[in-house]
A and B are shown apart, each in its own frame.
Chain A
Amino acid sequence: MLEISKLVKRYGHDKPVLQDLDLVVEGSSVVSIVGASGAGKSTMLRCINRLVEPTSGSIRLNGNELVKLRGAALRRARRKIGMVFQGFNLIDRLTVMENVLAGRLGYVSLYQAISRRYPKQDIERAFTLMERVGIAHYANKRADELSGGERQRVGVVRALMQEPEILLADEPTASLDPRTSEQIMKLLQSLASELSLPVLINIHNVAQAKTYTERIVGLRHGNMIFDGSPADFTKDALDAIYGGIEAPDDEITEPPGANPKQGEQGVAHDQT
């Protein structure tokens, strides 16, 4: 169970990106977070695994407070939180298998990591998961030789390798074409039920959010202004979330992968 309460994040002295956010995710539900660019979706997700330092508030995962953790304790908490990224964030020059095994970095020793001598059960798990998503035959291919959809599958498997207690997905489909992004959403949905894993998905595409998730949270200017089932997500809710900012169909405006702004954003997140 993930409990976020009174979460505040501000960069420098600007207006807070997140204002007193409260959110509880129970059991193995798939929750989508919708909102315009800059609404604070990505910041909220990154506060959970502390890629972004929250300014104040509390985030508890299965009763563990995450906000105050440091060093090794933080790393131990992070390995229980899987994350899937918009730009896949794979290591291009390594093989698919190495990318997948990288999900175990929080568990194995430095020697095992560098020599690539992972425990047998890790490798077994890697093959099983890769077969599940249909990329096992690529195990020794370099990650940059794969197509977008295949790369995102590697990203998902890497996150699952962590044996996570929760899965965070930051715009997992924004860099993919419509058909592939449907596939990835389906995959996330079925994995959530198979592994009884709560999944939080940041998403631009409201139609996909309604189809593949059982709960929608709407953010605007760092405030939660909608929380309900897809059936309750009406035209009014859509207008409230996106109204006057930009059209909700901007899910196609983000070009895939190599968007340089994305990299900068990552840097900004991490320095704070």
Chain B
Amino acid sequence: MPRTWRKPSFIANPFLRYGLWLVVLAYLFWAFGSLPFNWERIAEGLPRAARIFGSGFPPSFERGGLLLTGFKESFQIAILATLLGVALSIPFAVMAARNIAPLPVYLFGRAVIIISRSFHPVIVAILFVAAVGFGPLAGVLTLTLYSIGFVGKLLAEEIEEIDWGQVEAMKATGAGYFSILIYAVFPQILPRQVGLSMYQLDSNLRASAVVGIVGAGGIGGTLMNAFGRYDYDFAFAILLIIIAVILVSEGISGWVRKKIW
């Protein structure tokens, strides 16, 4: 008697298996059906793309001054935001670490971190622009908040995993809350913190290029203007430099972190 063999399915129940496929299919239909595609406008896309790339190449570096000012501002925003963000992330991380913060403080700290992580920096930027006006100030505030969210979360996790014995040793000497923090907690998280700051500087530099798109200063604004005025050759020049800067910054940040760890 010939025997048969079929590969056992990942999902054993056939109803569930085919049901899942059906759900995926139904979702695709629903999603594609409900999304508003403007086909007429999309059909114009290819000739437009040709025109954009045609006028974009070769990229024009003529307005180098404008380019330089934009990048300088992006750098400054990134540096200041990293400094402020990393410094402020320490208290927030302490607040959001379950093992050293009392419950109400913990909940507050977590909430701040969750909220600042939920919002894309561009949304935060648009709000800060509305509050404090156009310019790099909004950018610095945005990326500071962004850094608090990211560094704070990782740092809080780091604090939750510290060696508790050192804290107990400090407690045994009768040290107060802040002395314990400084002598038993911070030394344990410091190496991580230095690495994280380098990483954050790199990602702030990336983000500073985009917050400008909504008016928060830096090269993003210059790029947005170039696109708005159909200066595609200038826009592509900016894009190229952004890519180059990001690659260099990624390289440096990776190198430094490797040195430290």
Direct contact of A and B (CB under 8 A): yes
Q: B-contacting residues of A (Cβ < 8 Å)?
A: 95, 97-98, 116, 118, 120-121, 123-124, 126-127, 139-140
Residue of B nearest to A100 (CB): B5
B2 on the interface (CB 8 Å rule)? Answer: yes
**Which chain A residues border B8 with CB–CB below 8 Å?**
95, 140
B7 on the interface (CB 8 Å rule)? Answer: yes
Proximity string of chain B (1-43) to chain A, C-beta cutoff 8 Å, 1 when within and 0 when not: 0111111100000000000000000000000000000000000
* A-B contacts at CB below 8 angstroms, number: 22
Residue of B nearest to A116 (CB): B7
**Which chain B residues border A127 with CB–CB below 8 Å?**
3, 5
Main SS of the interface on chain A? helix
Q: A-contacting residues of B (Cβ < 8 Å)?
A: 2-8
Q: Does A123 lie within 8 Å of B7, measured CB to CB?
A: no
In the assembled complex, the Cα of A106 lies from the Cα of B3 at a distance in Å of: 22
In the assembled complex, the Cα of A97 lies from the Cα of B5 at a distance in Å of: 9
17 A–B pairs (Cβ distance < 8 Å), ordered by A: A95-B7, A95-B8, A97-B5, A98-B7, A116-B6, A116-B7, A118-B5, A120-B2, A120-B4, A123-B2, A123-B4, A124-B2, A124-B3, A126-B5, A127-B3, A127-B5, A140-B8
Nearest CB of chain A from residue B89's CB, rounded to whole Å = 39
In the assembled complex, the Cα of A248 lies from the Cα of B228 at a distance in Å of: 78
In the assembled complex, the Cα of A95 lies from the Cα of B4 at a distance in Å of: 15
**Which chain A residues border B4 with CB–CB below 8 Å?**
120, 123
In the assembled complex, the Cα of A120 lies from the Cα of B6 at a distance in Å of: 11
Residue of B nearest to A117 (CB): B6
Q: Which 3 A-B pairs have the closest CB atoms?
A: A116-B7, A123-B5, A140-B8
In the assembled complex, the Cα of A13 lies from the Cα of B7 at a distance in Å of: 48
**Which chain A residues border B6 with CB–CB below 8 Å?**
116
**Which chain B residues border A140 with CB–CB below 8 Å?**
8
- Chain A CB count within 10 A is highest, among B2, B4, B7, for B7
**Which chain A residues border B7 with CB–CB below 8 Å?**
95, 97-98, 116
**Which chain B residues border A121 with CB–CB below 8 Å?**
2
In the assembled complex, the Cα of A116 lies from the Cα of B32 at a distance in Å of: 32
